[in-house]
Amino acid sequence: MIASAYIKNLRISTKHATYISKIIRGKNALKAKKFLELVAKQKLTLDGKKYYLKATKAILKVLESALANARQKGLDENKLKIKIIEAHKGFKLRTPKRWKFRGREKKNTHIKIVLSY
């Protein structure tokens, strides 16, 4: 049995989300949740230097949703591992040009988490 969660169009950097997903891929789901909570509270760092708070909080939110889905299906949370975690580019939100100035492109990211035994 598997449980999954997917969220679209988060206003976070795809680069940061991919980096965090590489760190927690294959880990126990509850341990990964605890790790992300500590990083969000700035008690631990990801690589000894940085936190990437916005991306960390977003991935934590999706992971909690996947755990809730697993609970709803009757799966044992202690045995679940993060089988698949993906971060993909979403569409770019463009703001228009004004006068002589350039427009801006704002990043969006899609995140998918699949939990399995």
Domain containing 68 — which CATH number?
Answer: 3.90.470.10
What letter represents residue 42's amino acid?
Q
Contact status, residue 24 vs residue 82, Cβ threshold 8 Å:
yes
Output the pTM of the full model. 0.89
What letter represents residue 36's amino acid?
L
Q: For residue 35, what are the domain limits? A: 2-116
Domain count, the chain: 1
Query: pLDDT tens across 91-103, in order?
Result: 988 888 877 778 8
As a whole number, mean pLDDT of residues 50-55 equals: 93
The pLDDT mean for the chain works out to 93
